[in-house]
Amino acid sequence: MNTLIFRTVAPYLAVLMVLFSVFVLLRGHNEPGGGFIGGLVAASALAIYGFAFGPNAVRRAIVIHPNALAGFGTLMAALSGLAPLFAGKPLLTGLWYLPVVQGVKLPISNVLIFDIGVYLVVVGSITSIALALEEHG
């Protein structure tokens, strides 16, 4: 499976898949997609890159340890769910302007931050599993 053609095409395919995963992540509020599906596409891109060049190349490419990525994503998703409490709204309520400081609002939704957190959790956890399978398989 590790042919010259595959090793030549894999980096380009991985980049295209990561770009597509970001597209799927960002369009997920109005159409099918979102953090979970986008994360699966990105993790698949990293798996293809790993098949072509090995797990060490993937670790160098992503820089951050996959488990740390998943942990940071979990933290992001949790904090985005808590943000409405600071605005006097119920837990997990969708806010389109996040309160940063008293009287100052950031024009971004906590729903998007939640989706990005889910994206990072999926990319980190699936990549961690794929790397473990490639290293020990």
Q: Specify the pLDDT at position 61.
A: 93
Domain ranges of the chain: 4-136
Beta carbons within 10 angstroms of residue 115's beta carbon: 24
Q: Specify the pLDDT at position 1.
A: 64
Q: How far apart are CA 22 and CA 38, in angstroms?
A: 6
Q: What is the mean pLDDT of the chain?
A: 90
Token pair recorded at residue 100:
């940063």
More confident residue, 10 or 99: 10
- The pTM (predicted TM-score) of the whole model is 0.88
H-type helices in the chain, by residue range? 4-27, 35-53, 55-62, 66-86, 110-136
